[in-house]
Chain A
Amino acid sequence: MLAKTMVRAGIPAYQSQRRFWNNERKETLAAWLFLAPEVIGVLLLSVFPILFSLFLSFCDWNLVGGLSAIKWVGLDNYRALLDDNKIFMALKNNITYTACVVPVGIVLALLLSVVIHSKVYGKEYFKVAFFIPYISSIVAIGAVWSALFHPSQGPINRFLIGLGIANPPKWLADTNYSLTAIIVIAIWAALGYQIVIFIAGLSGIPEELYEAADIDGANQAQQFARITLPLLGPTLSFLIITTLMASFKVFDLIAFLTDGGPNESSTVLVYRIYDEGFHNFRMGYASAISWLLFLIVGAITLITWKIQRTKVEE
């Protein structure tokens, strides 16, 4: 049977060697046809746009008058970035946001995951419960929190007044606290995602290691430091990279809740792109901010990638 199939398949293969469309060429053609939709899509919707926005970032253009009205201004947009107080605020806010959301979110998620993974009954319930905010529309979540944070009537401030704090912050309407409120909501909403990833990582650690450590008399803290943390390395770095990136691209909550305000106190880079591009129609300037964002995200990717590589080599 096997021999028969081989003969059957062998003869045409031998003959087709001499034709132009031999099997190898056929397979290559097929592969590129299968790849075509994605390649065309990515070229048109990622590669061309990022290059075109590089070009636009050296130009002045407000859409009026079509392509012919595009005016080359050299580095003017980038010079303007340096003097733009809103951009300065946005960068500062992006950095503050990242510096809070990444460590706090990850440490909280790690603690909860370790407990959920091995120290409780009904693990599935906990995974689902903490994951619910993540699958909920960010807009619906924003609406709930903006009611909770309501300056005079919201339950949060009522509670704080009850505790004896006479003048609690106005949260989303407060220049000093709008970003804090956004950060609280963001950590809350993303926690479930991080827990699910951590638990997947924890499940990959063999149970025997803990049993052996138990026999050797290592306590819980030692086990966490010597077994859990090192073996969770790849998961941890994956989460740090993804939350870092997401932090620099934060937009939805801010656009829905504060429009970057009050008084630019919660503005971020992507909100500046949106505002300059789609409210002020300064396409060139918005493109310059886009490239600033792209360079920051790119730098983070390269740095974390480098660190990971050197760690692997060690």
Chain B
Amino acid sequence: MMTRKRKAFKWLTTAVMGAISVLFLTPLIWMASSASKYEKDVMVYPIQWIPAHWNFVNNFKEVWMSNVQFGLFYFNSLKLAAAMTLLTLIVSSMSAFALAKLRFKGRNLAFGLLLSLMIIPNEATLVPRYLLLKWFHLYNSHLGLIVMGMFSIYFTYLLRQFMIGIHNDYLEAAKMDGAGYTLIFLRIMLPLCKPILATVGIIKFIWSWNDYQGPLIFLISKELYPIPLGMQLFKSEFADNVSLTMMASLSAIVPLLLVFIVLQKQVIQGISLGGVKG
């Protein structure tokens, strides 16, 4: 039961938290505001939160249509993130299926070994992976980055935990009807896993989209750059132009922000999965 006093208190905390959340988002508000200004107004103090003179369109044109090929960076990011997401889903769901639903000797051992390999930090294998890419002639190529980004034991683990919860009756019934394992996997397992595949897919997409370390080390050609590296290029070329840099940052963030706002339930659920099951 909520007494009136309690209700009032709840409204009060809501107001205080509202103020904190706005304060928390100040840097991003400042970014959007600066991206809409003339350069000379950006560093004016006290800050003009709402530009006195709007310059959004010109800044937008400068970022998107000048010689820094922002459109191309976008395309590259989209291509890389989509490919990595799709391939990770395929690879991880296949091994998750074997680990969750197929009976074979050494299954628990294989699962345990796979999990224990998660402690190898990607950062500690940068040098040998760079050499591998060189040897396979995949250095400075999108394919090389995609191969690096398509294996994730963590996602396999999440998918396996979900698949274990699926009742064996579905699989047994299909087996009785003479279905092979491939058919069972494609026609029964994957459709039943749609929610978790969507959740895991979105998370993987966000991580791949924002990956900076991989492209930084494994790419050199500008025309292959995804957005994070494009931003870096932008920063070095327009270091003194804050309004343009902010427009570029805004452009880098907005698409993912929209995806997140539309799919927030799945994103938040996907992030929580790791924590709850620990």
Contact = CB atoms under 8 A, between A and B. Distances in A.
Q: Do the two shown chains form a genuine complex with each other?
A: yes
Interface of A: 5, 8-9, 24, 27-28, 30-32, 34-35, 37-39, 41-42, 44-50, 52-53, 56, 112, 115-116, 119-122, 124-133, 135-141, 143-145, 147-148, 150, 153-155, 158, 162, 188, 191, 193, 196-197, 199-201, 204, 234-235, 237-239, 242, 245, 249, 251-252, 255-256, 270, 273-274, 277-278, 283, 286-287, 290-291, 293-294, 297-298, 301
A41 B150 contact: yes
A283 B274 contact: no
A234 B275 CA distance: 8
Contacts of A252: 212-213
B190 interface: no
Interface of B: 10-11, 13-14, 17, 20-21, 24-25, 27-28, 30-31, 34, 42-43, 45, 47, 90-92, 94-95, 97-99, 102-105, 107, 110, 114, 117, 119-132, 147-148, 150-151, 153, 156, 175-176, 180-181, 185, 206, 209-210, 212-213, 216-217, 227-228, 231-232, 235, 242, 245-246, 248-250, 252-253, 256-257, 260-261, 264, 267-268, 271-272, 274-276, 278
Contacts of A200: 272, 275-276
B50 to A, nearest CB: 15
Nearest to B43: A153
Contacts of A136: 28, 210, 252-253, 256-257
Given A28-B104, A273-B123, 19 more contacts: A27-B102, A35-B99, A38-B92, A38-B94, A38-B151, A38-B156, A41-B91, A119-B13, A125-B21, A128-B264, A129-B21, A133-B28, A139-B212, A140-B248, A144-B246, A155-B30, A256-B212, A293-B121, A297-B119
Contacts of B272: 196-197, 199-200
Which residue, of A8, A140, A277, A278, has the highest number of chain B Cβ atoms within 10 A?
A: A140
B123 A121 contact: no
A235 to B, nearest CB: 6
Contacts of B114: 38, 42
A54 to B, nearest CB: 10
Contacts of A38: 91-92, 94-95, 114, 151, 153, 156
Given A27-B103, A50-B124, A143 B227 contact: no
Given A119-B10, A120-B13, A143 B97 contact: no
Contacts of B231: 137, 139-140, 143
Tell me whether chain A's interface is mostly helix, strand or loop, or mixed: helix
Nearest to B105: A28
A46 B125 contact: yes
List the 9 shortest-distance A-B pairs measured between CB atoms, nearest first: A200-B272, A49-B128, A49-B125, A197-B275, A140-B249, A41-B151, A34-B98, A31-B102, A28-B104
B5 to A, nearest CB: 14
Tell me whether chain B's interface is mostly helix, strand or loop, or mixed: helix
Contacts of B256: 135-137
B30 A144 contact: yes
A120 B10 contact: yes
A135 B121 contact: no
Given A158-B45, A270-B123, A301-B119, A201 B276 contact: yes
Contacts of A138: 210, 212, 228
